[in-house]
């Protein structure tokens, strides 16, 4: 589905941007041009962004814990 008609940005583009590190609407504006023309997409883009961030955070692998290695004195 198109989120921003003016810039032809879809949900998939936003999901990809989130995987690349986008976390704020400003990030989408810089990376994809969202809201730069008429601005009508702002609310939908924000909702899509939040959904993609939630999805990315729940599907991300858990960090591994490695034991600390102490240097011999
Ligand atoms: S629909 Fe996104 S700037 Fe117009």
CATH number assigned to the domain with residue range 2-58, chosen from the 4 options 1.10.10.1100, 1.10.287.990, 3.30.565.10, 2.60.40.10: 1.10.10.1100
Q: Is the four-CA dihedral 52, 58, 60, 63 of positive or negative sign? A: positive
Nearest C-alpha to atom 2 of ligand 1 is from which residue? 4
DSSP annotation of 42: H
For residues 49 and 22, the answer to whether their CB atoms sit within 8 Å is yes
pLDDT digits 0-9 by tens, 34-72? 999 999 999 999 999 999 999 988 876 666 666 666 666
Establish whether residue 8 lines the binding site of ligand 1, counting it when its CB lies within 6 angstroms of any ligand atom. Answer: no
Beta pairing partners, 9: 4
Domain locations along the chain = 2-58
- What is the three-class DSSP state of 53? helix
Establish whether residue 41 lines the binding site of ligand 1, counting it when its CB lies within 6 angstroms of any ligand atom. Answer: yes
0.95 exceeded by pTM: no
């Amino acid at each position: 589905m198109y989120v921003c008609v003016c810039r032809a940005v879809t949900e998939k583009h936003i999901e990809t941007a989130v995987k690349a590190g986008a976390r704020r609407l400003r990030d989408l504006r810089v990376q994809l041009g969202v809201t730069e023309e008429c601005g009508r997409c702002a609310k939908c883009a924000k909702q899509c962004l939040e959904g993609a961030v939630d999805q990315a955070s729940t599907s991300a692998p858990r960090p591994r814990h490695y034991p600390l290695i102490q240097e011999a004195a």
